Amino acid sequence: MDNSRIARLFNEVADLLDIRGENPFRVRSYRTAARTVEDHSEDLAAVLRDGGDLTALPGIGKDLAAKIAEIIETGKLGFLDELKAKLPPGLPELLRLEGVGPKKVKLFFEEAGVDSIENLDRAAREGRLRGLDRMGEKSEAGIIRAIENYRKHIGRFRLDDGLAAGAKILDSLKPVADRVVAAGSLRRRRETIGDLDILAVSSDPSALTDRFVNLPGTASVPARGPTRSSIRLEGGLQVDLRVMEGDEFGSALLYFTGSQAHNIALRRRAREMGLKVSEYGIFRGEEKVAGETEEDCYRALELPWIPPELRENRGEIEAAEDGRLPRLIELEAIRGDLQSHSTASDGKESIMEMGRAAGRRGYGYIAITDHSRAVRVAGGLDEKQLARHLEEIERAGEKCPGVRILKGVEVDILADGTLDLADAILRECEVVVASIHSSFRLPRKEMTRRIVRALTNPHVNILGHPTGRMLLRREPCDFDFEEVVKAAVGEGVSLEINGHPARLDLNDVLARRARELGARLAVNTDAHSSAQLDLMTYGVFTARRAWLEDRDVINTLPLEELLAALNRPTR
């Protein structure tokens, strides 16, 4: 999990080099390296420790490999500190403003002495920017607006919020469009989205654009053109609309779905084949060879269609070329949920209600896994209470034909790695999910030891929300992921992909790595009400982004096989 820190430092270097107007290819090297490191599923600290060669990674040469090693060994990057010393600390933040790039930052700093957002705001309001090169009153007003927006809406939005907003917008636009779909990171099911991308075909484009820029809840209209427009919703989410012709729909959808890295890789491949890809189609010279559907476009590039969740340029194009694309797991393959809560702890509904809801979803089983006593605010159970609760689960199961309600618990992993309940009662459970709900900030070594110790308890079946992160709110715990996964594999413990859209834990990159290391995954909802069983869809999105197939996920198994799979190997 240090990889993301390395990536962050490299991106900071790139920002500073960019502002200084240095060789753009050097800047790109740092950005490419940041992305390589971020997407790399192995912990680079572990790679280094095992004597691995970092220059084997694409775009990492001798120099950057040494810088990665420096960051891992010292926690710092001297080169970055040198750069920072040469420029005011507030400059990189200016790049976050809409309409401001490195050239403008340089201009504002050198010509107007601007070195922070506060400064820039003042300069703009005092009319000191309009005299600068290529700046006028409109640009100045744009800066003020960009700062207001930035202050109001820093950050990203959760996937579930994006999907909800997207559904409303699509409903509003459907009456004036022949076709309208959401693309972008939403279609790729990224865990968070920065904006919303809508693609439409309409026989009356100006009516469509009119409707779009006047959607209810629109706070401002940053751009409006015949084919491309943007609005910002009151909640801060930016929505981009692209209007295309019907015979361009496939190439436009491909382009607008991205990711950027996937698009660039495809276009490069096209160029090598003597083709040109744009949102308007795939062309050989003047001749259009594809564009109506995505399938056509990929076919023109001699590739099978690639599922949107994989389009991150993380090896999917190579896999497609070699016929190695995974048969991604589908929601329909899920046969049950292995983490859910009832009124016995902090759930909203009874065991019976949860069981029946599982039956309505066509599940063969559901595990009721209420909290253990350490989670006091959630009404966690002690041994005696859990014993009675397990009996209740059994009784409820008898009245719930068709669905097996599994006796379970979500037992807390205490700070020292012991579990919050005695083995004698854990033994009575069919599903033991072990999770961390406190002491999130232990030092790395201690945290690693803590989790590994918990996994060695012979009754634990699943490690719940393994990193403990909360999207946009809480950073993941720091531990040696590889070591934990290896311990889980050795102990026969599955790792959870918690499908709650606030968690999505494990995330796509880590889940993919876990599978590579031989781990089995359990995709659960952590439902606290029967309606929340629907959150399974988000867990499956993440599993798909992790390249998982049915066989990688234990709760695609029929009941008998699942029970066998949950049995810990005897040693």
Decide: is 270 part of the binding site for DNA (CB under 7 A).
Answer: yes
Q: Give the tokens for residue 543.
A: 């599993």
Site for DNA in 164-183 (CB under 7 A): 183
Region binding DNA by CB under 7 A among candidate stretches 193-201, 288-296, 393-401, 541-549: 193-201
Exposed, middle or buried by CB within 10 Å (0-12, 13-18, 19+), for 167? exposed
Q: Which of residues 425-444 bind DNA (CB under 7 A)?
A: none
79, 150, 305, 440: residue in contact with DNA (rule CB under 7 A): 79
Applying CB under 7 A, among 51, 58, 285, 401 the residue interacting with DNA is 58
Closer to DNA at the Cβ: 256 or 481? 256
Which range, of 91-99, 340-348, 468-476, 529-537, touches DNA by CB under 7 A?
Answer: 91-99
Distance CA 50, CA 202 (A): 57
Site for DNA (CB under 7 A): which residue of 5, 20, 28, 486? 28
CB-CB contact of 37 with 6 (8 Å): yes
Q: Which stretch in 131-139, 211-219, 348-356, 549-557 sits in contact with DNA by CB under 7 A? A: 131-139
Phi-psi region of 307 (alpha: psi -120 to 50; beta: other; left: phi over 0): beta
Return the range that interacts with DNA (CB under 7 A); candidates 112-120, 153-161, 191-199, 451-459: 191-199
CB of 463 to DNA, least distance (A): 33
CB 271 within 8 A of CB 283: no
Instruction: Output the CA–CA distances (angstroms, integers) from residue 23 to 18, 394, 512, in the order listed.
Output: 8, 69, 35
Size of site (CB under 7 A) for DNA:
71
Regarding 450 and contact with DNA (CB under 7 A), the answer is: no
Query: Distance of CA 149 to CAs 103, 154, 233, 372, 400, Å?
Result: 21, 8, 11, 44, 53
Q: How far is the CB of 258 from DNA (least distance, A)?
A: 2
Closest listed residue to residue 331, CA positions, set 543, 501, 188, 554: 543
Provide the minimum distance between the beta carbon of 19 and DNA in the complex, in angstroms, as a whole number.
Answer: 10
Q: Determine which residue in the list 6, 7, 104, 528 makes contact with DNA, applying CB under 7 A.
A: 104
What character string, x for contact with DNA (CB under 7 A) and - otherwise, covers 506-525? --------------------
Q: Closest separation between CB of residue 115 and DNA, Å?
A: 16
Residue type at position 564 = A
Nearest approach in angstroms of CB 1 to DNA is 23
Residue with the two structure tokens 């048969």: 327
Burial readout 390-429 (b: 16 or more C-beta within 10 A, e: otherwise): bebbeebbeebeebbbbbbbbbbbbeebebbbeeebbebb
Cα 241–chain centre separation = 23
Q: Which stretch binds DNA (CB under 7 A): 45-53, 263-271, 463-471, 530-538?
A: 263-271
Pure H helices in 126-236: 137-152, 159-173, 184-187, 205-213
The least distance separating DNA from the CB of residue 45, rounded to whole angstroms, comes to 18
Contact residue for DNA among 4, 21, 26, 210 (CB under 7 A): 26
Looking at 20, 84, 211, 267, which residue binds DNA (CB under 7 A)?
267
CB 172 within 8 A of CB 147: no
Task: Reduce the DSSP state of residue 109 to 3 states and report it.
Answer: helix
Encoded tokens for 444:
């790395």
The gap between the terminal CA atoms of the chain, to the nearest Å, is 31
Residues 210-239 touching DNA, rule: CB under 7 A, are: 223-230, 238
Of 214 and 260, nearer to DNA (C-beta) is 260
Please choose, out of 164-172, 258-266, 354-362, 375-383, the segment that lies near DNA by the rule CB under 7 A: 258-266
Q: List the x/- string, 142-161, binding to DNA by CB under 7 A.
A: x-------------------
**CB under 7 A: which stretch of 266-274, 327-335, 336-344, 503-511 binds DNA?**
266-274
